[in-house]
Chains A and B, each alone.
Chain A
Amino acid sequence: MKRGWWLLIVWTVPSAILLAVTGIVFHAYRIPPPERLDDGERTRVIATLRAALSDQDPPHCEVHRAGNAVAVTVWSEGRTAIRIDGQGADVGAAVDAAAAQLRARPHIKTMPGITDARIQVDVIAGRAPLGDTEAVMNALALPGVASLLALNPGVEGIGAVANDKTVYVLPHELVLAKVVSTKRPSETMGDFAMGVDLGRIATMVGGRLGVKVDGKALFRFRTDAFVEQLAAHRDLPPLQLYRGIPPAPKLSAEALRTAAIAGAHYLVAHLAPNGRYVYEHDLSTGVKSDPLHPGAYSMPRHGGTTYFLAQVYRITKQEWLREPIERAFAHLVSLMKEGNCGAKLPDGTDVDCVLDKGEKDAQLGSTALVVVALAEYELATGDQRYRELETKLANWILWMQRPDGSFRHLYNPVTRVADDKAQLLYYSGEAALALTRMYVVTKDPRYVQAAERGLDWLVDWYDFFMGGFIFGEEHWTCIAAEAIYPAVQKAKYREFCAHYGSFLRQQQPERGEHPDEDDLVGAYNVTPFVPPYNTPAGSRTEAMISAYLLGVHEGVPDSALRDQIQATLQYTLGQQIRGDNDFDVVGDADGGMPGSPLERSVRIDYVQHVCSGMIRASEWPELAGQPH
């Protein structure tokens, strides 16, 4: 063969092979998004099923769309009360079959609260194989890709066929069973769980089929899901669901204010008589952490959460907030008495710090956020009853600061020695904010000078080559940088926070960028494969509001920051638990903020960060999506 032919082969064949592999694999595993039923069709589907659930003759479902299977879930008090599948020649016939099964269930006659129960329908709309169960793909894909990232969590379910029977484990069932983002890529990465647990899923599917399921029998499927309205709104069409969540309320100042107040309601309802919060509420089981007994708890989060309540009180002046805030402070006072952290410095200054039960070291973040909360309360009420306490705590923070502006983060109250080595996330920014807020309420220049030194240290830390490309978690830094204005006006603070915002925007996908994941637009995520958490959406929005306001103060408002804030606020409005999306929530959790669309539990700091951003943005029309 001539040399020219060889050259042609060398230059084209490898590229052709690579192109072919890409195309074949993509099409083999792609399930196109379903064409969704319209308002009228969804209404007709639900009408048939609601009649059956009410033990009446169901009308035939006249929805003649392609699709031969539907899965029906009846939710009652947050739990699945009934779950059936219907099959037929088209969607209408499948719904008729499901309605007949539903009516045949004896316990619909005795089920309590049948009117309030809500019917969810999943129209099975497309299927594709699982990469992990196919030998070629399993061998060809990089380790973990075909197994840990086997399906789009919350969007895809897993089904199986055995003995002529087909079962469907729906996307939300996989989420509630905690099998979509709990597998660790490696046992050495204990805190990093992101993968699908196909072993447990196979067991779930096998349990429904009544036989052990071979991996090859499993397949992925997508659904067009929708849920019946609340009983009071049944005249409206059923709500479309995506990743288990209905459409978000439209962004507006009023919507943000309502959502923030709902968050405050959640926290007050989760504050025990002893002043300690119910730290975590599992939405799928209703299990709550017990505030009366020792367990997982975070004093910085106790302080931060109380700060948020005081912030809502300052802005809304709703009196029902005041007693719970004071109750949360009373708990802190009793902890401080037990903690024995109080001391007198050689110069006679009284200091004190916050220490939770059983804690050996006092953490700077705990005391800092308590000071932030106390100062916010004083600003909100004008009541100076905690001033002496605030001052002692702030004196301790000043004592923990080094001459270069940095802070020591841990302190042993027994040995009276501060740890000069340990550096923990967030604490320096929190301390800078605490000192700033102390200055705002006391006008004592010691605080503003120390806060400025702290902020300078935090911002100047990035003064090296790679510091221009990466950022740590600097949300408290930017909140403090704005809070100190106008006492300290430094262009470098605004520039730093604007760059931080620009860095974060690269993690914020735009609509259409990840077409199957437009529901996550506004969240911060690194790839489409790792579900974004709601807490960073909240804390970063708090920081971005401060970054934006720094620009406003200096006459250079940044429209990119404004759009970034609006996108995240719109996203978090959709994530919050409220009447129309609490059908799968056990226990009263309205106003709560789940960890993510896939992590169905609420922790106090999730609510605090997200709702703090909301209440602050509600005061700025342009941030709330309204004309300036």
Chain B
Amino acid sequence: MAARRELRPYIYLGLDQLAVIIYVVVIVKAVPTWMTSAKIHLWSMPIALQLMALGMASVFVPKLRKHGRWLALAGGGLILASAFLIIVRLLASAAFLAGVYGAFGQAAASGALVAVALVIEVVVLLPIVQVKWLMSRAGRRVFA
């Protein structure tokens, strides 16, 4: 019986590329910022995700697959680190405001929690699932 064809690299590639396009549009159109550190931080996400997409695209070129997997893992690691840094920045800002104003307030606390939840849902979910798969035996086999 012929081995079942592994579809996941193609699905991840499509999702990665779609997410890159969405990130770029959102960053350019919806969240312009004047702060260089914020710009670098925001742009790190589509760039890291593009690295993941390129890594996944290596599935089409057998001799590049091994390197492609590492590239995708590096991109995934970068985007997870970037997301972690966003959460650190949110908490540092909240702690700063609580220190200066003596309280953070329910509205602001709810807003910060929603922001963290959105970061996890929108930014972290795709790379974390993808990295988990790339680290699994199935992932290694595809990119062997």
Q: Is B96 an interface residue (CB 8 A)?
A: yes
Are the C-beta atoms of A22 and B100 separated by less than 8 Å? Answer: no
Q: Is B70 an interface residue (CB 8 A)?
A: no
For chain A residues 1-32, which have a beta carbon within 8 Å of chain B? Answer: 14, 17-18, 21-30
Q: Is B107 an interface residue (CB 8 A)?
A: yes
Are the C-beta atoms of A141 and B103 separated by less than 8 Å? Answer: no
Residues of A within 8 A of B99 (CB): 25-30, 128
**A509–B93 CA distance with the chains assembled, in angstroms:** 21
**A274–B108 CA distance with the chains assembled, in angstroms:** 48
Q: Which of A28, A128, A528 contacts B101 (CB 8 A)?
A: A528
Residues of B within 8 A of A131 (CB): 96, 100
Q: Which of B38, B98, B107 contacts A143 (CB 8 A)?
A: B38
Are the C-beta atoms of B92 and A25 separated by less than 8 Å? Answer: yes
Are the C-beta atoms of B33 and A527 separated by less than 8 Å? Answer: no
**A141-B89, A143-B38 in contact; A29/B102 too (CB < 8 A)?**
no
Q: Is A378 an interface residue (CB 8 A)?
A: no
**A152-B102, A514-B103, A528-B102 in contact; A143/B34 too (CB < 8 A)?**
yes
**A26-B98, A515-B102, A516-B102 in contact; A529/B90 too (CB < 8 A)?**
no
Q: Is A119 an interface residue (CB 8 A)?
A: no
For chain A residues 126-172, which have a beta carbon within 8 Å of chain B? Answer: 128, 131, 137, 139-143, 145-146, 149-152, 156
**A141–B88 CA distance with the chains assembled, in angstroms:** 9
Q: How many residues on chain B are close to A (CB under 8 Å)?
A: 28
Q: Is A526 an interface residue (CB 8 A)?
A: yes
Q: Is A517 an interface residue (CB 8 A)?
A: yes
**A143-B38, A527-B105 in contact; A150/B100 too (CB < 8 A)?**
yes
Are the C-beta atoms of A137 and B101 separated by less than 8 Å? Answer: no
For chain B residues 68-122, which have a beta carbon within 8 Å of chain A? Answer: 84, 87-108
Scoring B33, B88, B93, B104 by chain A CB atoms within 10 A of each residue's CB, the highest score goes to B93
Q: Is A513 an interface residue (CB 8 A)?
A: yes
Interchain nearest-CB distance for A225 vs B (Å): 16
Q: Is A445 an interface residue (CB 8 A)?
A: no
Residues of B within 8 A of A156 (CB): 100
Residues of A within 8 A of B136 (CB): none
Residues of A within 8 A of B92 (CB): 21-22, 25, 137, 140-141
Are the C-beta atoms of A142 and B93 separated by less than 8 Å? Answer: yes
Are the C-beta atoms of A18 and B87 separated by less than 8 Å? Answer: yes
Scoring A21, A131, A528 by chain B CB atoms within 10 A of each residue's CB, the highest score goes to A528
Task: Give the residue name and chain of the B residue nearest to A137 (CB).
Answer: B96
Residues of A within 8 A of B100 (CB): 29-30, 131, 149-152, 156, 220
Interchain nearest-CB distance for A422 vs B (Å): 28
Residues of A within 8 A of B104 (CB): 527-528
Interchain nearest-CB distance for B94 vs A (Å): 7
Are the C-beta atoms of B97 and A140 separated by less than 8 Å? Answer: no
**A529–B103 CA distance with the chains assembled, in angstroms:** 9
**A623–B90 CA distance with the chains assembled, in angstroms:** 42
Q: Is A33 an interface residue (CB 8 A)?
A: yes
Residues of B within 8 A of A514 (CB): 101-103, 105
Interchain nearest-CB distance for A28 vs B (Å): 7
**A242–B11 CA distance with the chains assembled, in angstroms:** 61
**A144–B105 CA distance with the chains assembled, in angstroms:** 18
Q: Is B35 an interface residue (CB 8 A)?
A: yes
**A29-B96, A131-B96, A145-B96 in contact; A529/B101 too (CB < 8 A)?**
yes
Type the 1/0 row for A432-470, where 1 means its CB is closer than 8 Å to any CB of B.
Answer: 000000000000000000000000000000000000000
Q: Which of B90, B98, B101 contacts A142 (CB 8 A)?
A: B90
**A21–B91 CA distance with the chains assembled, in angstroms:** 7
Interchain nearest-CB distance for B106 vs A (Å): 8
Are the C-beta atoms of B89 and A140 separated by less than 8 Å? Answer: yes
Residues of A within 8 A of B89 (CB): 140-142
Interchain nearest-CB distance for B103 vs A (Å): 4
**A516–B98 CA distance with the chains assembled, in angstroms:** 10
**A515–B94 CA distance with the chains assembled, in angstroms:** 16
Type the 1/0 row for B47-79, where 1 means its CB is closer than 8 Å to any CB of A.
Answer: 000000000000000000000000000000000
Residues of B within 8 A of A528 (CB): 97, 101-105, 108
Residues of B within 8 A of A22 (CB): 91-92, 94-95
Residues of A within 8 A of B101 (CB): 149, 152, 514, 516-517, 528-529
Residues of B within 8 A of A152 (CB): 100-102
Task: Give the residue name and chain of the B residue nearest to A512 (CB).
Answer: B103
Task: Give the residue name and chain of the B residue nearest to A24 (CB).
Answer: B95
Residues of B within 8 A of A145 (CB): 93, 96-97
**A66–B87 CA distance with the chains assembled, in angstroms:** 40
Are the C-beta atoms of A25 and B95 separated by less than 8 Å? Answer: yes
**A29–B73 CA distance with the chains assembled, in angstroms:** 38
**A25-B96, A137-B96 in contact; A143/B103 too (CB < 8 A)?**
no
**A150–B101 CA distance with the chains assembled, in angstroms:** 9
**A18–B89 CA distance with the chains assembled, in angstroms:** 9
Residues of B within 8 A of A18 (CB): 87-88, 91
Task: Give the residue name and chain of the A residue nearest to B36 (CB).
Answer: A139
**A25–B104 CA distance with the chains assembled, in angstroms:** 13
**A156–B101 CA distance with the chains assembled, in angstroms:** 10
Task: Give the residue name and chain of the B residue nearest to A187 (CB).
Answer: B34
Q: Which of B37, B94, B103, B108 contacts A517 (CB 8 A)?
A: B103
Task: Give the residue name and chain of the A residue nearest to B85 (CB).
Answer: A140
Interchain nearest-CB distance for A257 vs B (Å): 34
**A33–B103 CA distance with the chains assembled, in angstroms:** 12
Residues of B within 8 A of A140 (CB): 88-89, 92-93
Q: A24-B95, A140-B88, A149-B101 are in contact. List 7 more A-B contacts (CB 8 A).
A: A22-B91, A23-B95, A25-B92, A25-B99, A128-B99, A145-B97, A514-B103
- 7 closest A-B pairs (Cβ-Cβ)? A516-B102, A29-B99, A514-B103, A25-B95, A30-B99, A26-B95, A143-B35
- 21 interchain pairs, CB-CB under 8 A: A14-B84, A18-B88, A25-B99, A26-B96, A27-B99, A128-B99, A139-B37, A141-B96, A143-B38, A149-B100, A509-B105, A514-B105, A516-B102, A516-B103, A517-B102, A527-B105, A528-B102, A528-B103, A528-B105, A529-B97, A529-B105
